[in-house]
Structure 1
Amino acid sequence: MIRQVSVFVENKPGSLMDVTSRLTEAGVNIRAVATFDTPEFGILRMVVDKPDEAKEYLTKLGYVVRIHEVMGVALEDKKGNLNQMLAILAKGELNINYIYSFIIRDGKEPVMVFNTDDFAKAEKVLKEAEVKIVEEADL
């Protein structure tokens, strides 16, 4: 599993930069980022190198921060690989709540990060299909 940091931010100019600036101050490296917004606020979801330190630092500054588990799978840079992975999960009757990717891995395959309601089942069907699951230590 990979731990993801989720931060609630106001939906206004500069709010995302404020969070990334604070993480830079704390010496935390952002490896992947995705945002999901509503008219008034957004959720900034990130995979970082030090999730506990990120949460502690941002919480002290007044941000609402949560750490959630997500799954990561390595996909070769090949047409149809994302579709194939999603087909495996669909066949296993697994719902994907959200998904995003990142590629900053020093020459390694891109990673698709996703959240599901049943991580154990997702891990089982992906392993059976020989899909490479990425753990936090692999990042």
Structure 2
Amino acid sequence: MAELFQGVSWIGVFSGTIAAFLLGWLWYSPKLFGTKWADGVGVSMGSADEMPKAAMMFQILGLFLVSWLVGVTAVSNALLTIILAVVAFSVMGYAGGLFRKNSAYARGVDAGYWVASVVVMVVFQGIF
């Protein structure tokens, strides 16, 4: 159990979480991929007042856990493990999008976000 906490850069974990969340905000905004992604998953883009608060809270929690995983693998000099995990989770997410009949564009946007967010988390672990 100690390997989950010992030597982890918590500043890197928290800053990586925040940076990945902000990346998601931009990634899924109309400025980048949001509009076409929303069409591909069958949802409509709402206003800031209509933000799904529960979904956002779980997104932050999930990003924190992934950022923590990045921190643990960095301490263990096992960053290739996180690359394997990102590829595995991206493929599983892509498969989930196929089951939900999301468009190929939407599946690609989701997979791309996971890869980009973990790259951001790895960078923040390297900085801190």
TM-score range, shorter chain: under 0.3
- Please, what TM-score do these two structures have when normalized by structure 1? 0.24
Higher RCO (Cα < 8 Å, 6 or more apart): 2
Higher strand share: 1
Higher helix share: 2
- Please, what TM-score do these two structures have when normalized by structure 2? 0.25
